[in-house]
Structure 1
Amino acid sequence: MNLKGVAARSDGPDRAPAVVAFGGGHGLAASLAALRQITSALTAVVTVGDDGGSSGRLRAELGALPMGDLRMALAALAGPDGWSTTWADVFQHRFGGDGPLAGHAVGNLVLTALAERTGSPVAALDLAATLLGVRGRVLPLSTRGIDIVADVVGLDPAAPTAEVEVRGQAAVATTGGRVAGVRLSPAAPPACPEAVTAAGAADWIILGPGSHYTSMLPHLLVPEMNRAIATSRANRVMVLNLTAQPGETEGYTPQAHLHSLGRHVPGLRLDVVIADPTAVPDPDLLARAAADVGARLHLAPVRIPGAPVHDPVRLAAAFRAVFAGLPEATCPTPASRRPVTQYSSSGGPVRRTPSGEAKE
């Protein structure tokens, strides 16, 4: 593992670390809510495969880029003043009733209109960011919509081991079978140039939390973005989900997510994997899976107690600890003895090797 550190990239001791967070939906919003407490040099890169709900309707009717996840990222980074919070609330508002506007989010309509007026979804997002007083920048993974295609096992009762093709983010996310693999259509969509540049200039790249196959993996399946992430000098951090997602990752263990990552993106190396200890039945197995992708496991309480939701304050604390660089992170160790750092709810570190040896 090579934990490169922010200091090596800094222009000065007070420079905010440049962080690029990849994902979509509620998972990315949670990550952004935490990261905005740490740095102002923050870029959200958002998946554009959504084909359900308001985004799907606008995509089908107008050929528009799906704006729902982008809207949520803008709202998560909106400023704290009254003007910004008011506009963030308006963007998140959905129309009721049963008419043509029912279910549409105001922000989706505004962003679609801005993209039509400016001719650029990036310009539209930058204008909306100014309106919402966004701290950072929100960019799409691609300036064109992409489709997610999955091979799913268990959908055909007559052939339970046969793979069935399932197309579309909404269908994949709610499938009743087991996802064996995913790919994109088109296979090599153009990556947003500004997002590629941000990844190349980052100190830290954050993957997750979020839907594994429909929010996180698509970023790594876009060839140009995959290269940007793989060749960036940034440290790469993956935040694991708190629970398996019904349908998409039903029955997955935490380490199964890392195994899936290795299958879909061979050769990708991470530096740190963050997980909540209450969501990890076997830390030893997860530590080994993390080591397989070059990473150290960092266990820390990051959930809202009693809820399957990330706590922005606790997640921010975990990011700060990782960004600061823990002593064992700089000492190469054989994978079988690579330390697991666990933080108690009181914040005190308890270090354990995968064999279970405690180091107070």
Structure 2
Amino acid sequence: MKIKIKTTTLLLSGFAALYTCTAAAQIQVSLNENPFGPAKSVKTAIQQELQNIARYTRNEGDELVHRIAQKEGVDPEQIIVGEMLDLLGVTLALKAGPGSEFIYTVPGYPALVNGAARVGGKVIEVPLTEHLENDLSGIAAKVNAKTAAVFLVNPHNPSGTVSDSKAFHKFIHEVSKTALVIVDEAYLEFADQYKERTALQNIKDGDQVLVFRTFAKAYALAGLSIGYAIAPKGIAKYLKAQGLGSTHDLNRLSIAAAKASLADTTYISEVYRQVNQERTLWHKFLEQQHLKHSASQGNFVFFDAQVPHDKIAGYLQDHGIQTGRQFAPYHTWIRISIGLPEENRKIQDLLKEFYKQ
């Protein structure tokens, strides 16, 4: 029996070592995470907060709400904390009733419309334009009395494209007279002209718009799951009454990390600089390889690999590179998150070898 236990232990240890080695060899460029990690001050804040982990949150969440409101230039009552897109879809569809319509761009990020569909909402899909941008005129044409919400991601995912700022703000102003417009700006910190592009200005101008932001992407807190929405006071009050935005649902580490992230006034600009530099190099590489790509302003590139997605993704997978899923109907296109410089060079070298075959 002792021999069996030792043998089993050895086998398990060997498997664990093999798994660790395999996991370490993987380059993750599949989920648009920030490979540079959070700011040093954020890591310090998380470590310091560990000593309080046995205690429930008290007013720490309310303090975070006030800091977010100060950053955005709005009243605290307009801030709804939490990673909420799925639950937001559920809540809005229940309010609007069965058959209410939710318009969004395909391919796209479906969390909100999936939530709405589960409780009777009807999903209305609008394809991207030929430039892989949100089709604002096409979306506007679908809006009617049944439309409960229009959901847009800007910069878009998976294409990374941004809409023309003037046209985008005009679109929101007009459409929000009929339906709530929800703009996911998860990737906006990676784009140029942040202040000119954000739909927050529409909220301040009185439009019925909800803007969603997350700490998961640019702030590199994907593992702590924290974000927030900014909304007109009436909409925010209703959503909070339905259970969204409770600060007691936040955990201590997320709060500490988010507060420290907001306190660091230089980190985001440095992340933008590094991502923009690598994105430019990626686009230059794709052009050198004669591979059509989108004009991405996100922390990822989206390009036509000229072969079925499974073939190029499988090739990279065999070399330890995890890439994004396929986005129909772009069956030969692939999305690759921007990694560390050395990771990007490795992937590009692999692609060069692939196209030499």
TM-score grouping bracket, smaller chain normalisation = under 0.3
Structure whose CA Rg is larger: 2
TM-score (norm 2): 0.27
Q: Which has the higher helix share?
A: 2
Query: Which structure exhibits the higher relative contact order, with contacts defined as CA atoms closer than 8 Å and separated by 6 or more residues?
Result: 2
